[in-house]
């Protein structure tokens, strides 16, 4: 768990480098794709290799009708690289990483306080979600205090608690969204996902749709993702 809290940042930076066009911000679809890879246990090395292979094939094409604008374009190559690593673990291993803690106490405390402040700010603009947002902020402040005092030693348990907080928020937002709002989110997702559906399995698509819509719920509440993977 400690080795992978930089999973999102490293993938984002690697995709930007492979794309070769400077700063490129990942979309909600891209972040949902990374969530799936992370939850599926796909090694960072496999994601990097898959991204590189996808761009190599794209650059080898004689006709390039469009630039690669999404991680979803790399989905098949990432899965292939992950399967190859699983089949020959001795040949492909993750680089050794230091065993020291992933974050400093002050860094953790600042992250929790920042997200707590975002939850409190959101409570002022969305009264219907005020109760759950205040409770979320209070829990994050407790984590911040524990982090500042050096009492957070089991980051896996912390991550599980953050997941519970996110799930409560998402459930509360879904209850408040109108039919038209939910339909608009799904239509936006379908439009963004359309060019890449042929590159993913049915199971991947189901997971991707869920992650995408969950993130939209948090966006609607004005709250960022709480996971340590986003620190």
Residue 94 lies in a domain: no
* Structural domain ending residue among the three candidates 26, 57, 87: 87
* Structural domain ending residue among the three candidates 34, 56, 87: 87
Q: How confident is the model at residue 3 (pLDDT cuts 50, 70, 90)?
A: low
Q: Alpha-carbon distance 31 to 208, whole Å?
A: 9
Q: Do 70 and 131 reside in the same domain of the chain?
A: no
Q: Do 21 and 81 reside in the same domain of the chain?
A: yes
Q: Do 199 and 113 reside in the same domain of the chain?
A: yes
pLDDT tens, residue by residue, 48-99: 999 999 999 888 887 766 778 888 888 889 999 999 998 876 544 555 454 4
Q: What is the CA radius of gyration of the chain?
A: 19
Q: How confident is the model at residue 102 (pLDDT cuts 50, 70, 90)?
A: low
Residue 44 lies in a domain: yes
Residue 93 lies in a domain: no
Q: Give the range with max mean pLDDT: 16-25, 135-144, 219-228.
A: 135-144
Position 124 pLDDT exceeds 70: yes
Q: Do 21 and 124 reside in the same domain of the chain?
A: no
End-to-end CA distance of the chain: 14
Q: Do 156 and 205 reside in the same domain of the chain?
A: yes
Summarize the chain as % helix, strand, coil (round to 5): 75, 0, 25
DSSP state of 198: G
Q: Tell me if the pTM is above 0.85.
A: no
CA distances from 6 to 9, 102, 152 (A): 5, 8, 18
Q: Do 12 and 71 reside in the same domain of the chain?
A: yes
How many domains, in total, are found in the chain?
A: 2
Residue 92 lies in a domain: no
| pLDDT, average across residues 146-152 | 92
Residue 165 lies in a domain: yes
Residue 95 lies in a domain: no
Domain that holds residue 66: 2-87
């Amino acid at each position: 768990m400690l080795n992978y809290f930089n999973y999102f940042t490293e993938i984002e930076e690697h995709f930007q480098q492979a794309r070769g066009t400077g700063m490129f911000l990942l979309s909600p679809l891209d972040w949902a794709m990374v969530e799936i890879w992370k939850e599926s246990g796909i090694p960072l090395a496999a994601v990097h290799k898959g991204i590189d292979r996808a761009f190599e094939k794209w650059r080898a094409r004689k006709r390039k009708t469009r630039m690669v604008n999404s991680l979803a374009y790399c989905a098949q190559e990432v899965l292939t690289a992950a399967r190859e690593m699983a089949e020959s673990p001795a040949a492909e291993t993750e680089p050794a990483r230091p065993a020291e803690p992933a974050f400093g106490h002050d860094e953790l405390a600042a992250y929790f306080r920042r997200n707590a402040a975002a939850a409190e700010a959101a409570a002022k603009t969305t009264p219907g979600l005020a109760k759950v947002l205040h409770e979320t902020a209070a829990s994050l402040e407790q984590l911040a205090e524990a982090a500042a005092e050096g009492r957070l030693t089991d980051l896996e348990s912390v991550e599980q608690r953050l997941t519970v907080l996110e799930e409560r928020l998402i459930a509360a937002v879904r209850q408040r969204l109108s039919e038209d709002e939910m339909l608009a989110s799904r239509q936006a997702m379908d439009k963004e996902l359309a060019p890449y559906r042929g590159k993913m399995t049915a199971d991947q698509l189901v997971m991707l749709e869920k992650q995408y819509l969950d993130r939209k719920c948090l966006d609607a509440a004005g709250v960022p993702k709480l996971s340590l993977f986003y620190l």
